[in-house]
Amino acid sequence: MQKSKIKDQNCSSKLKNSRGAAADAAKRCQNFAFCPATVRDSPVGEERLPVVRIPLYLARQSENMSASFANSAGSQTLTSLRSGYVRDILHFDFGRRRAPGFTLLEMIVATGIFSVVVVASIGITLSVKSAQEKASNIQNIQDNVRFAVESMTKELRQGSNYQLPACGSVYGLKQCQKITFTSSRGTSVSYCKPAGTILRLEGAGACETDGLPLVAPSISISQFFLYVAGEAAGSGDGQPRVTLVLSGAATGAKTQLQSSFNLQTTVTQRVRDL
């Protein structure tokens, strides 16, 4: 019986010391959001609890619960309740935040969006580059063919004495792929289409073998027709005139860069045919 009283007195003294420490800590931390732990010593027979920072209202709540159970019967029940409550408070991390990082779903979504943007950007870039190359190729073709046509029409306009080989007839007009005439300088000039190109020959010789090309090797001429009317001497059939029809395409390694063209022009001899 005496041992039980001594044990109760020891528990009561430790409890009073704990309440006093809690009250002092609460008074010192009234103006702060967080306070140091109010209890440093755990009940008898348990290990020492760590000192952490807990909210002020929880410290006061712990003090009130300890005071309400101080005079109740059964010190063992008080000790277990108080120990469990304080342990929950001390082991709770009030300042804990979520760890930084990304979830697997967020990574998948971000990777998918990034892949779509990259693929679309690459496709747009390649399309723009291909369109630019094709436009540049068409411009080069037009410049080359325009130069060839202007050279022929200028010489035909200023020339005379149009001579045609044996050729067919379409709607009463002679359709030929070769023409020979006298230039303004008094020399003989010939234009012909042997195979895939246009050749020009000035002077004696065979146009098909001795002529020089007028267009670049990257341009393939598929059609070259000369429709001639009024070539006979005299004014009975009108002034001599030549209609030039030219068709072709640009050849290259890339199929998407190939382009075709069709040209037609009519030239009338400037020298009067009397």
DSSP string, 111-179: HHHHHHHHHHHHHHHHHHHHHHHHHHHHHHHHHHHHHHHHHHHHHHHH-EEEE--S-EEETTEEEESEE
The residue among 25, 46, 43, 45 whose CA lies nearest residue 34 is 25
- Whole-angstrom CA distances from 56 to 23, 50, 64, 85, 202 are 11, 17, 13, 15, 111
DSSP 3-state of 244: strand
> Could you tell me the sign of the dihedral formed by the alpha carbons of 18, 19, 24, 29, in that order?
positive
Confidence of residue 117 (pLDDT cuts 50, 70, 90): very high
pLDDT of residue 97: 60
Strands 173-176, 219-229: pairing kind: antiparallel
Instruction: Report how far apart the first and last C-alpha atoms of the chain are (Å, whole number).
Output: 158
Q: What is the distance between the alpha carbons of residues 218 and 221, in angstroms, rounded to a whole number?
A: 10
Q: How many CB atoms lie within 10 A of CB 134?
A: 17
- How does pLDDT run across 180-228, given as a tens digit for each residue? 888 888 888 988 888 888 888 888 888 888 888 888 888 888 888 888 8
Question: Does residue 51 carry a pLDDT above 50?
Answer: no
Using a pLDDT cut of 90, give the percent of the chain over it: 7
- Report pTM: 0.51
